[in-house]
Chain A
């Protein structure tokens, strides 16, 4: 039971390149989330999903897309990376509502 896993752990991109971050959970929970964490700011929600096949925008969705084709996987895509997207990206999962969230180990992304 690994909980939440994220790949890759680190990545360096050049401006304009694209990439996909993968989040996988083995808890069979409905809700999954993508956050970014920047110095001096709290975690900010990018997109989230309340179940397989559904996605919704969070607080800072611009420049990102997501897909939830399988319940256990939540993908975050950067179509054309910008230096402002340099950040640490955390995936989380939970049962939704007022339930707690459980986080993956994070992906450190640098965009040059």
Chain B
């Protein structure tokens, strides 16, 4: 089983739609969680950190479920500019650091 798993997609959604991605992780000792966005042929950029209480940034909402070991990202009112690959990242730091990246979920927002 991969340490961090994501559905690769692609998710093709119309503008204005709500779309959700899930990411599962295998190590229950994981301590911090992030969503990164990566545009084609560009570097990953931090979208948001994921906190136990859940957090929201504009149209984006991230949730963490430690019991089931998954994190989610919800995008409301999708824009064309949201088209990208979304990477789930899990930090297993516990004395030593270890970031594990998912392979990413591709989103295409259609006009």
Contact = CB atoms under 8 A, between A and B. Distances in A.
A13 to B, nearest CB: 20
Bin the interface of chain A by size: 20 to 34
SS class of chain B's interface: helix, strand, loop or mixed?
strand
Interface in B22-47: 31-32, 34, 42-46
A103 B99 CA distance: 13
B103 A42 contact: yes
A100 B100 contact: no
Bin the interface of chain B by size: 20 to 34
Contacts of A45: 98-99
Interface string B38-75: 00001111100100000000000000000000000000
Interface string A69-112: 00000000000000000000010000011101111111000000
B109 to A, nearest CB: 22
Nearest to A90: B43
B9 to A, nearest CB: 13
A100 B45 contact: no
A42 B4 contact: yes
Interface of B: 4, 31-32, 34, 42-46, 49, 87, 91, 93, 97-104
